[in-house]
Amino acid sequence: MSGSTLEVDKDWWRGAVIYQIYPRSYQDSNGDGIGDLKGITARLPHVASLGADAIWISPFFTSPMKDFGYDVSNYTDVDGIFGNLADFDKLIAEAHRLGIRVMIDLVLSHTSDQHPWFVESRGSRTNAKADWYVWADSKPDGTPPNNWLSIFGGSAWAWDPTRLQYYLHNFLTSQPDLNLHNPDVQEALLAVERFWLERGVDGFRLDTINFYFHDKQLRDNPALAPERRNASTAPTVNPYNYQEHLYDKNQPENLAFLKRFRAVMDEFPAIAAVGEVGDSQRGLEIAGEYTSGGDKMHMCYAFEFLAPEAPTPERVAEVLRDFHKAAPEGWACWAFSNHDVVRHVSRWGDGVADQDAYAKLLASLLLSLRGSVCIYQGEELALTEAELAYEDLKDPYGIQFWPDFKGRDGCRTPMVWDSAAVNGGFGDAKPWLPVAAEHLKRAVSVQKGNEASVMEHYRRFLQFRKAHPAFAKGEIEFRGTDGPVLAFVRSHGNEKLFCVFNMSGAAAAADLPKEPVEALEGHGFAAAIKDNKVNLPAWSAFFARLV
């Protein structure tokens, strides 16, 4: 087992910068076209050089890969395509040597239909695991028990000819939902948690954390008024958005289970968890519930900044105020991109003339907000969403809704390390998804050492962030959200930082605060102070200490 060489800091997660690694696409070490754990270990110096505090590794457990690891068939082993448990132990040891904590992605709401638990459960209505999944009889006419819909399209119920019953699947039909109302299921999942904690992990990212429980009465979800439909939970072409999801998720019983999960973490020295709240209707409210009281999740993130709409000063302030209102004692974890959404440089920046400047501005904003931060691999290179041909798609979500929704493959293409190497340095064999030709000019080898590059800006700004604890731990007070300029003060102890962002492609000016200011350097932006105003070029920022 891996022993940690990191300093014990129970509060390490508060304000941490967490770098998300999608293992299939990070580095192929054995020439099979798929990234793996040894590949991640070899590239950890890159993460360390950026200045990230932790990595979050998307699922690497045994899986038939129908949903690329988010369909687990063995929670306590490594899928052979990624390596083995010894490789994972070496990864943790190397990460800890470099000062990086390791968080792993646990998918506890559902398993693969190939998991031995489900194989046994579907065998009869009387076996020992018959109630480990959500089974229900049909209506008298043979139709599903209720109107619940799957995020991946169609009914959330699939018929099983052996049991002559339906089972619930909020995602693919091959991802049956566990029945966490059953205490034996809870015990089994807590044993999984303990297995990985004893192996040396520093925490968890919990997938679809608000899907753990369903309404025992299986009541129909009500319709959602068209004006309330939001495309950030599912694409607009998916009828999932047509319902108000009162009964298929977000159930109150989850709070007690999260307390049990936290109690296991608290048996270990310095563990943290971030929950993904998959709900565009009540996301911040649920995040508030799940992070309240210091006895559930350490932090949560909802979909507000993973939405299609580009952030504006007013919207940024609104989201943070709403979170504080919903979770006055809670802690957020913000992300602009991840493995499930269009990369934010494309999602928000299509049509922006200077995408590098835009990417730098967004990075600096994200890293200045109150909360912790997730950075998705390739974000530091300002990678755009890759355009893939239909025949190259692997994501069942994109295949289902093509061409109106192209799925998630465009943000999952291989990391580009070396513009001159085959497949951008990802590996010698044909990769599982094609390397985007336009990404090669943004490879690590191209940007490294170039102070004007986006990657060096991430590095520089992360150093700047670490030099000022108010960014990681401090409070936030908004000073201005008018027009294109966002201004706020981050304060912690005796330090108060005045932060201004020009979120537009044209020059703008902002009033300096009434307090005296001392301009700060080291963040990579240039702005001029004149007549009690700060003049900001397009897509730029200004930082000062209030004295």
Catalytic: 207?
yes
Contact predicate 333/373, CB 8 Å: yes
User: Torsions phi, psi of 441, nearest 5?
Assistant: -75, -5
The candidate with the shortest Cα–Cα distance to 272, out of 37, 23, 56, is 56
The candidate with the shortest Cα–Cα distance to 68, out of 397, 372, 515, is 397
Over its C-alpha atoms, the chain yields an Rg (Å, rounded) of: 23
Q: How far apart are CA 135 and CA 23, in angstroms?
A: 33
Q: Which residue has the tokens 């709401």?
A: 109
Please, where are the H alpha helices in 51-127?
85-97, 116-121
User: Counting Cβ atoms within 10 Å, is residue 136 exposed (0-12), middle (13-18) or buried (19+)?
Assistant: middle
Contact predicate 221/244, CB 8 Å: yes
Tokens of 279: 């709900």
Q: How many CA atoms lie within 13 A of 295 on its CB side?
A: 7
Catalytic residue among 79, 202, 207, 385: 207
Q: How far apart are CA 192 and CA 65, in angstroms?
A: 20
Q: How far is CA 276 from CA 117, 231, 239, 443, 459, in A?
A: 25, 17, 22, 29, 26
Catalytic: 267?
yes
- Per-position DSSP letters for 322-349, written without gaps between them: HHHHH-TT--BEEES--TTS--HHHHHH
The candidate with the shortest Cα–Cα distance to 389, out of 404, 411, 416, 410, is 410
Tokens of 255: 């709070």
Catalytic residue among 7, 141, 267, 521: 267
Which residues are part of the catalytic machinery? 207, 267
